[in-house]
């Protein structure tokens, strides 16, 4: 499991400088994601940033979370039906499903996460949120390098991240 570092950067040009600096420092195993506000058109971004995908793992996590909640409440509804009909199999099955969804939700909520909505105000002012996925051993060196050579970048937090596919 990787860590995801969040940096709020004043504009796309500075964002590209940070990315190029990290790449030139030998940090090739990094994965970059960006999030921009609605006031920043994709055509305004440098060509190098246009192919960096958005934060789709976070969106996938939200979809899975909502699906998990839906399954839990559907199982709760089936449990009530099982109680009304006195069906032992229905009650046992719905309790098992509810337990699995509860434990999955509990495991996810114990992992630290940075709420993306906290950056919305800055993103509306044409700033760029740069997210860097890296192995845990590189976190300190990346943060130090960004703070030392790019003081315009504001650290926004660190969270856990699952590595999905290739770059």
pLDDT at 132: 87
Pairwise CA distance, residues 58 & 77, whole Å: 29
Q: Is residue 64 part of a domain?
A: no
- Of 87, 84, 86, 109, the residue nearest 160 (C-alpha): 109
Domain count across the chain? 1
Q: Is residue 162 part of a domain?
A: no
Instruction: Cite the DSSP H helix spans in 38-135.
Output: 47-50, 56-85, 88-110, 120-124
Q: Is residue 86 part of a domain?
A: yes
In angstroms, the Cα distances linking 116 to 7, 76, 78 are: 12, 31, 35
- Of 126, 121, 141, the residue nearest 3 (C-alpha): 141
Provide the terminal-to-terminal Cα distance of the chain, rounded to the nearest Å. Answer: 15
Pairwise CA distance, residues 103 & 108, whole Å: 9
Q: In tens digits, what is the pLDDT along the chain, a chain of 167 residues?
A: 688 889 999 988 888 889 889 988 876 678 888 888 776 666 666 666 655 655 666 677 778 889 999 999 999 999 999 999 999 999 999 999 999 999 888 877 776 667 777 788 888 888 888 888 888 888 889 999 999 999 999 888 777 765 544 44
State the residue range of the domain holding 85.
78-126
pLDDT at 68: 92
Q: Is residue 110 part of a domain?
A: yes
Q: Is residue 10 part of a domain?
A: no
pLDDT at 33: 82
Q: Is residue 89 part of a domain?
A: yes
Q: Is residue 92 part of a domain?
A: yes
Q: Is residue 87 part of a domain?
A: yes
What sign has the CA pseudo-torsion 10, 15, 17, 19?
Answer: positive
pLDDT at 117: 72
pLDDT at 73: 95
């Amino acid at each position: 499991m990787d860590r995801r570092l969040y940096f709020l950067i004043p504009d796309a040009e500075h964002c590209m400088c940070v990315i190029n600096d990290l790449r030139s420092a030998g940090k090739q195993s990094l994965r970059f994601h960006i999030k921009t506000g609605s006031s920043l058109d994709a055509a305004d971004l440098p060509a190098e940033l246009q192919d960096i995908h958005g934060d789709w793992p976070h969106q996938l996590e939200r979809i899975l979370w909502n699906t998990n909640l839906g399954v839990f409440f559907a199982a709760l509804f089936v449990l009530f039906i099982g109680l009304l009909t006195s069906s032992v199999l229905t009650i046992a099955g719905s309790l098992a499903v509810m337990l699995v969804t509860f434990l999955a939700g509990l495991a996810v909520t114990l992992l630290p996460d940075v709420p993306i909505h906290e950056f919305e105000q800055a993103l509306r002012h044409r700033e760029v949120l740069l997210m860097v996925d890296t192995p845990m051993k590189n976190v300190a060196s990346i943060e130090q390098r960004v703070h030392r050579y790019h003081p315009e970048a504001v650290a926004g937090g660190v969270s856990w991240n699952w590595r999905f596919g290739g770059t």
